[in-house]
Structure 1
Amino acid sequence: MAAILSRIVVVLFIIVVLVVLATSIRVVQQSKAYVIERLGAFQDVWGVGLHFKIPFLDRVRKVVSLKEQVADFPPQPVITKDNVTMQIDTVLYFQITDPKLYAYGVENPMNAIENLTATTLRNIIGELELDQSLTSRDVINARMRSILDEATDPWGIKVNRVELKNILPPKDIQNAMEKQMRAERERRESILQAEGQKQSQILVAEGEKESRILRADAEKQARIMAAEAEAEAILKVNQAMADSLKLLNEASPNDQVIKLKSLEAFQSAANGKATKIIIPSEIQGLAGLAAGVVETVKKPETGKAPVPPVTPPKA
């Protein structure tokens, strides 16, 4: 009976030892850190890997996440320099860089960060007027990040970014701002319409200008082509006359033919619109002779000799 009890005790002891050993072995995951205390005092910070904790002496004081974390704080009432009360909620992006300082630097770090953020925001907004607060978000974010990062450094926390999520001014100011924005949109719309009409008128004027230029070019080309055609016709007429004279000269005409050609040329000149014509003496003689012959043919025989026409003196 005693042997059986001793065996049971041994088995139980082995089981207890195994359980203790199993609970003393810890595997630290990526982006985690364990703060270890021994007999109530800080002992070590475990990083990624397998670690063994001395039973009954060591304990895990805090498990810290090393990832970047986001803290969305509720809206805080702030007063601007011109005594306007607004509600502003803030988003904080931070990361734990020193697990030991985070575990021992401050009690309840998140509550401390929230209070510090609200205080810093009130101080910064209190130096700005309403318009500056609404239009200077980047400046406010940068100042808050710098101040909070410096203040939380002893706590092992690094503040990466601070964003003003919403800025809610009083209702009457919101209504006034909406009216102002509506008026601004209407003004911009009017400007755009005026610009559109201006561009349309410019395009119409440019189109008319181009049309007139094209018509003028067409008329110019037509006149040039007409002048070229007329010049070509005159050239051909002169060429034909030159060829005729050349053929006539090659035929060696007598005086009668030359006089006859002179008479034809005079007839052509007389058919024109000239008011004064100078008649050569040779043509005058031919004209008188032709007139006398015509009169002789027209008059009946009277027994009298016909009176010859008076020949003008030679020029």
Structure 2
Amino acid sequence: MSEIPYGPIIIGIIVLFVVLLLLSSIRIVRQSEVYLVERLGKFHRKLESGIHIVVPFIERVASKKTLRETVVDFPPQSMITKDNVSIQVDSVVFYQVTDVVRHEYEIANPLSAISNLTATTLRNLIGELDLDETLTSRDTVNNKLRAILDQATDKWGMKVNRVEIRNIIPPIDIQNAMERQMQAERTRREKVLNAQGEKESKILKAEGEKQSQILEAEGQRLSQIERARGDKESQVLRAEGEAEAIIKLAEAKARGEQVVLDVWRAASPTKEMVQLRSMEALEKVANGTASKLVIPTDATKLLGMVESVKEVMRSDKTEQ
């Protein structure tokens, strides 16, 4: 039988063991994280983000710390206010590790320590306030609590950035009384707002009516002004028309008289003809509707002349 070659097998096993040992000694640290390495049980160094080698069997990674801000939500705690009202308060703490070495070796359980410290500090702060002040002074309580926690956790390599009281829960009977009070306050505010709205509505309505009357009066005034202006312009136009008519009538009369004068001049009328024409005109006037007739003295002479003419005409007929 041929012998099994154990030499190469043993060498392969040794090489595989060395490779696995080297791979296990490589540590990749993520950003915002820090590894704490102990050598033979004692803190030796910190591994920050990147690739690192840990010596097998001599060094080990004792802890992994994150440098990011951490949020811790604590359950409700029973507390008593200054006016002896039992309430339930829950809070939220935002903290960040600033010194990973002290955070690892100065405190065994940092979260439990922060929880207990928060509850104790809150009891002290709320015990100095009555229920109404507790409900309305959250910002003040938050600031005082953050300052106390930040000072206490500094030696643990931690920094408390913010503390928020999330809920304050009073007993059920006080909640009912507060609900009734808030309902009454809402009703009162609703009435006040309705009254204020009605008041403003009346004011706006009166103002609108006043403005409407002002605009109406202004419109009437402008209308009267425009009407007076139109009447004035109408009268001016009428007067101008009448004046123009009088002028044209006078011009026509003057032209007529000129024509008559020209005709008479052309015909060379005698005195007797003129008197005869006057008599014809007088006859037309006498045929009018007037009850009285005023005759000039020249006309009476003319009448006498007419009678003489009539006598002569009668004598001629007798002779014939």
Q: What TM bracket, shorter-length normalisation? A: 0.7 to 0.9
Task: Note the 1:17-166 alignment, pairs <5 A.
Answer: 17-166=18-167
Query: Once the 2 structures are TM-superposed, how far is the Cα of residue 84 of structure 1 from its aligned partner?
Result: 1.5
Query: Once the 2 structures are TM-superposed, how far is the Cα of residue 78 of structure 1 from its aligned partner?
Result: 1.4
1:284 corresponds to which residue?
A: none
Partners of 2:292 and 2:70 lie apart in 1 by 136
3-state secondary structure, aligned to 2:155: helix
3-state secondary structure, aligned to 1:231: helix
Query: Once the 2 structures are TM-superposed, how far is the Cα of residue 217 of structure 1 from its aligned partner?
Result: 2.2
Partners of 1:168 and 1:182 lie apart in 2 by 19
TM-score by length of 2: 0.72
Partners of 2:205 and 2:230 lie apart in 1 by 37
Partners of 1:129 and 1:187 lie apart in 2 by 25
3-state secondary structure, aligned to 1:74: strand
Describe the superposition over 1:99-126 as per-residue Cα deviations: whole angstroms up to 9, x where unpaired: 1111101111111111111111111111
Pair 1:171-2:178 in alignment: no
3-state secondary structure, aligned to 1:93: strand
Which structure features the higher share of helix residues?
2
Distance of aligned partners of 1:226 and 1:25 in 2 relative to their CA distance in 1, 3 Å threshold: closer
Which deviates more from structure 2 when the two are superposed, residues 56-65 or residues 220-229?
Answer: 220-229
Partners of 2:46 and 2:237 lie apart in 1 by 115
Q: Unmatched 5+ residue regions in structure 2?
A: 255-289, 295-320
Distance of aligned partners of 1:247 and 1:105 in 2 relative to their CA distance in 1, 3 Å threshold: same
Query: Once the 2 structures are TM-superposed, how far is the Cα of residue 233 of structure 1 from its aligned partner?
Result: 4.5
TM-score by length of 1: 0.73
- Residue 46 of structure 2 aligns with an amino acid whose one-letter code is V
Query: Once the 2 structures are TM-superposed, how far is the Cα of residue 200 of structure 1 from its aligned partner?
Result: 2.3
Partners of 1:146 and 1:2 lie apart in 2 by 79
Partners of 1:231 and 1:66 lie apart in 2 by 96
Larger radius of gyration: 2
Distance of aligned partners of 1:162 and 1:245 in 2 relative to their CA distance in 1, 3 Å threshold: same
3-state secondary structure, aligned to 2:27: strand
**How many residues are treated as equivalent by the alignment?**
258
Query: Once the 2 structures are TM-superposed, how far is the Cα of residue 160 of structure 1 from its aligned partner?
Result: 1.4
Distance of aligned partners of 1:185 and 1:152 in 2 relative to their CA distance in 1, 3 Å threshold: same
Distance of aligned partners of 1:229 and 1:12 in 2 relative to their CA distance in 1, 3 Å threshold: closer
Distance of aligned partners of 1:246 and 1:105 in 2 relative to their CA distance in 1, 3 Å threshold: same
1:218 corresponds to which residue?
A: 219
Describe the superposition over 1:139-176 as per-residue Cα deviations: whole angstroms up to 9, x where unpaired: 11111111111111111111111111111011121111
Partners of 1:31 and 1:2 lie apart in 2 by 57
Query: Once the 2 structures are TM-superposed, how far is the Cα of residue 75 of structure 1 from its aligned partner?
Result: 0.5
Query: Once the 2 structures are TM-superposed, how far is the Cα of residue 41 of structure 1 from its aligned partner?
Result: 0.8
- Residue 118 of structure 1 aligns with an amino acid whose one-letter code is A
Describe the superposition over 1:232-254 as per-residue Cα deviations: whole angstroms up to 9, x where unpaired: 34445655666648976996xxx
Partners of 1:121 and 1:6 lie apart in 2 by 72
Distance of aligned partners of 1:23 and 1:234 in 2 relative to their CA distance in 1, 3 Å threshold: closer
Query: Once the 2 structures are TM-superposed, how far is the Cα of residue 8 of structure 1 from its aligned partner?
Result: 4.0
Describe the superposition over 1:39-69 as per-residue Cα deviations: whole angstroms up to 9, x where unpaired: 1111011101111111111111111122211
Partners of 1:79 and 1:16 lie apart in 2 by 64
Partners of 2:249 and 2:40 lie apart in 1 by 144
Which deviates more from structure 2 when the two are superposed, residues 225-234 or residues 121-130?
Answer: 225-234
Aligned-pair identity in percent equals: 49
Partners of 1:133 and 1:57 lie apart in 2 by 56
Partners of 2:139 and 2:133 lie apart in 1 by 11
